[in-house]
Amino acid sequence: MSTVDQFESVFKAAAKTTYVHEKHPLGKVLLVTDMENAEATLYLQTVRKFLEGILPESETEWILVSKDGFENVKDLLDTVEEHRPDLVITYRNLRSDAWRWPYSLGEHLDVLAQVTTTPVLVLPHPDREDATNFLSRPLQTVMAVSGHLCGEGHLVGYSSAFTPSGGKLILSHVEDEATLDRYLDAIEKIPELDSEVARETILSRLLNDAKDFSESARVALEKADLGIEVECHAKVGRRLEDYRKLIEDDHVDLLVMHAKEDDQMAMHGMAHPLAVELRSVPLLLL
């Protein structure tokens, strides 16, 4: 490697990406249900109790949509466009009995999460036997999920907004082990490259970038005086299994992740299996 290349590498390694905190508005909330009016009103009270540490009564305008408020996906999108909320709240398999099977979020949510730019808070379907347990206590622990945490200011900003004072925000970064092994296997077949050095340095670089960004987020959120604890979990592993374990071990109340991909119409590659299979925790889809 030339001296110029060495200097460039050292310079890039020293130029760390830092988090700059921005406050996201959550003053107008649209709750969408497929319940009759009376039942929907009761459900609204349950949801408000669950989010009381995030959405103060005096600062939040709630809009309730019940069964008669929409008939299809287009009606739902028109309703969101009409009210232009800061947050949409609904539950899995809206207007469907497919909540009994763990294979999708349902057509309404699949479209809503991709078409609208509004964050969507997805709750477990209320007909589940254990649904009330998920909303029985206010939010306390929030986990942000990313396969490339460094530079994810938008994700960290919303995650911190949903972490109540006195609560804990976990910034999680899991490098996919299978993908990393495939690239390292290719490097081992190139005689000019030292495969052992590559394995150690690439892995260290990937995890250090996530840890450094998380530390900058911790410092910025502390300066913002939000009163929250910030932790970082950065590792190599199997994403679905590791996230499920993190959720269980840390008693996570809310999972926050991106649902959109700039160059495709379908849900973000990693977000879809996580959203479909991690059914025991509410999700905030950005």
Q: 142 with 256: CB under 8 angstroms?
A: yes
Instruction: Name the CA dihedral angle for 107, 25, 220, 150, rounded to a multiple of 10 degrees.
Output: 30
Closest of 145, 73, 78, 59 to residue 106, by C-alpha: 73
Confidence class of residue 175 from pLDDT cuts 50, 70 and 90?
A: confident
* Residue 57 included in any domain: yes
* Residue 5 included in any domain: no
Domains of the chain: total: 1
* Residue 2 included in any domain: no
CATH code of the domain covering residue 87: 3.40.50.12370
* Residue 128 included in any domain: yes
Q: Percent of the chain at pLDDT above 90? A: 50
pLDDT tens per residue, range 205-214: 878 988 999 9
What CA–CA distance (Å, rounded) separates 23 from 157?
7
Strand-pair partners of 274: none
pLDDT value at residue 264: 54
* Residue 9 included in any domain: no
* Residue 8 included in any domain: no
Q: 121 with 286: CB under 8 angstroms?
A: no
* Residue 7 included in any domain: no
pLDDT tens per residue, range 58-74: 999 999 999 999 999 99
Its domain, for residue 237, covers 17-285
* Residue 262 included in any domain: yes
